[in-house]
Amino acid sequence: MQDPLSWIFGACLVLGVGYLLFTIVLGDFADGAGDGDFTMLLGAAFLSGFGAFGLLGVLSQWSLPVTLLSAVGFGYVLGRGGSFLLKAVLRQQTEDSIEVIDKLVGMSARVTIDTPEGKIGEAMVEGGQHITRSAIKEVDGHALKRGDIVQVINAESGLLYVKKKNG
C-alpha cells in the first residue's frame, strides 16, 4: 500500500511545485486573469505541502493517519500562509493607489478608447503632478468616443465613474 501512496503524494508535490514554477517563470501569462486568480496559487501551495509531507510520512514509514494528518496540516499551513502573505502585499500596494484615485474625483479626463454604451473604457486624468490612466464607466450609460472629455463623479474599487461633459 505504500507504493501507490508514495506515487500519489509524489504527484501532488510535482504538480504543486510545477504550477508554482510555471507561474513564476511565465508571470502574468500563466496567471490568466492577472490579479484576480490567487486561488490557483494557494491551491498549488497546499498541494505542494500536502505532497511533501505525505511523501515524507510514507518514506519514513509513519502510520497512515499520522501521514494524512501531517500532510493535510502542512498543506493547510502553506495555503493559509500564502494567503496571508498575498493579502499583506496586496494591501500595501493598494493603500497608495486608493488614496490617489480618490483624489481624482471632480477632475476632468480625456477618453482614450471608444467605449460602447454601458461598457468599461479607459481615460487619462491629468492632475497635479500625475497623469493617470484609469478604467472608467459612464454613469448615464452613454457611449464614449476617443477624445471625449468627461468629469470624474466617483471612484470605487479602482474604477472611475464619469459623466460626459457637454460640448
Model pTM? 0.51
Confidence of residue 27 (pLDDT cuts 50, 70, 90): low
How far apart are the C-alpha atoms of 155 and 79, rounded to whole Å? 33
Outline which parts of the chain fall under CATH 2.40.50.140: 103-164
Q: Read off the pLDDT of residues 50-106 as tens digits, 9 standing for 90 and up.
A: 999 999 999 999 999 999 999 999 999 998 888 888 777 777 765 555 556 677 888
Q: Which CATH superfamily is domain 103-164 in?
A: Nucleic acid-binding proteins (2.40.50.140)
DSSP 113: S
